[in-house]
Amino acid sequence: MVGTDSAASLQCRHVTTTGPAPAAFGGPADPSDLPEEVLPVRDLGSRTRPGRRSWPAVVVSSAMTVLLLVTLNFLLPRAMPGDPVEALLSLGTSNPVEVDTRQRLEEYYGLDRSLPAQYRSYLGDLARGDLGLSIRHNVPVTELLLARLPWTVLLVGSAMAVAALVGLIAGIHSGWRRGSLADQGLLAGFMAVSSIPPFFLGSVAVFLFAVKLDWFPLAGARTTFAASSGPLAQVLDVAYHLVLPASVLALTFLLTLYLVMRSTMVGELGSDYLLLGRAKGLLERRLKYRYAARNALLPVVTELALLLGVAVPIAIFVEEVFAYPGLGRLLAESAFARDYPTMQGCFLLLSLLVVVLNLVADLVNARLDPRVRG
């Protein structure tokens, strides 16, 4: 009996030390727990993860989107009620216009041709980089867009910078002190402000801060004849006119960035590196900003890139409320005058900005997070 027990004991020790015990001895029954040398090896490096798009697929998808947008860009202005020639003539005089004058204007702007002929001409001009001649302003549309584009870029860039700064700081503080009074107050305040439509929020801001309190200018991007002053005075004047529209646009996206940063910070609270840092005696401020906030930035960067594509169309309403001379203001003016070439140019440029920004968001996300690479 002793010899038999000793042999069985040796056999059990041998099984335990040389590899995993079978299920009968209480060992793992899952094949994933077997040693590497007995598991089949598959090369997964050359395969694309399901649900992930490689960057060529993203580029092709963006190109197809642009083609669709170009077609809709041509059709939507012409689907509006009204006549561009009639709108142009009504600006100059209220008297009846001769039929011969109307026909010459339609022929001059190419409106006398059929819709397919106009579409072919539009695609040909677009391929050459010619956006046409503005019916209302009688200048090339490209000149109008180049004059208005910097103001829209300035407005959107400033608004997103303010939203990112405030949203990150508030999200870090709320996530670090989850459930505190400050966290509940910030969450309720941001949700209340972000639920207000931007055009209504802009109207309230104009009435309160420009009309009643007279703290900021009522409209425009700079003071008349401000170009005659020095460079520093011009910069301060532009910034002074930018405060209200940029703040209204920033409040529109503040809640999204705040919630993303707060949720990622909450997910980092129980991390092992924070426990180790506290065991080493590191300051809470250093753990909060240098470690937890730094590791939580990736989703915020991705969300910020996506919001840039959304901010461009929303800026149209803000520019209209504050009479800000950007692309949105130009689009509203051209829509009122039925200026087809200018409307097409504005739609095309705004659509391209959205597509390019979304493409950049996908590429930045794939660059920062290896899990989304194809």
DSSP 175-218: HHTTTSHHHHHHHHHHHHHHTS-HHHHHHHHIIIIIIIS--S-S
Q: What is the pLDDT of residue 146?
A: 92
- The pLDDT, as a whole number, for residue 159 is 92
Domain boundaries, the chain: 148-372
Single-letter amino acid, residue 9: S
Contact in structure between 366 and 373 (CB atoms under 8 Å): yes
Crossing angle between the packed helical segments 55-79 and 340-368, to the nearest 10 degrees: 160
Residue 19 is predicted with a pLDDT of 46
The pLDDT, as a whole number, for residue 244 is 92
CA-to-CA dists, residue 165 to 157, 168, 252, 295, angstroms:
12, 5, 14, 17
Distance CA 46, CA 54 (A): 12
DSSP secondary structure, 269-335, as one string? TT-HHHHHHHHHT--HHHIIIIIIHHHTHHHHHHHHHHHHHHHHHHHHHHHHHHT--SHHHHHHHHH
Are 349 and 328 spatial neighbours (Cβ–Cβ below 8 Å)? no
What CA–CA distance (Å, rounded) separates 209 from 330? 25
The span from the CA of 313 to the CA of 327, in Å, is 10
Q: Measured between alpha carbons, how far is 44 from 254 in angstroms, rounded to an integer?
A: 40
In this structure, how many other beta carbons lie within 10 angstroms of the beta carbon of residue 278? 12
The confidence score (pLDDT) of residue 16 equals 42
**Helix and strand counts by DSSP (H, E) for the chain:** 15, 0
Domain 148-372 fold: MetI-like fold (1.10.3720)
What is the rounded CA–CA span in Å between residue 226 and residue 239? 13
Q: Which amino acid is at 281?
A: G
**pLDDT profile of the chain (374 residues), mean per 10:** 45 43 45 44 44 67 78 82 72 56 76 83 84 85 91 91 90 85 87 86 90 87 73 86 92 88 83 79 80 79 79 86 88 85 86 76 67 53
What is the model's pLDDT at position 228? 65
- 132 three-class SS: coil
Q: Which residues contact 149 (CB under 8 A, 6 or more apart)?
A: 326, 327, 349
Supply 235's token pair.
């910069």
pLDDT of residue 365: 67
Query: Left if phi > 0, otherwise alpha if psi is -120 to 50, otherwise beta: which for 179?
Result: left
* Whole-angstrom Cα Rg for the chain: 31
Q: pTM higher than 0.85 for the full model?
A: no
pLDDT for residue 53: 59
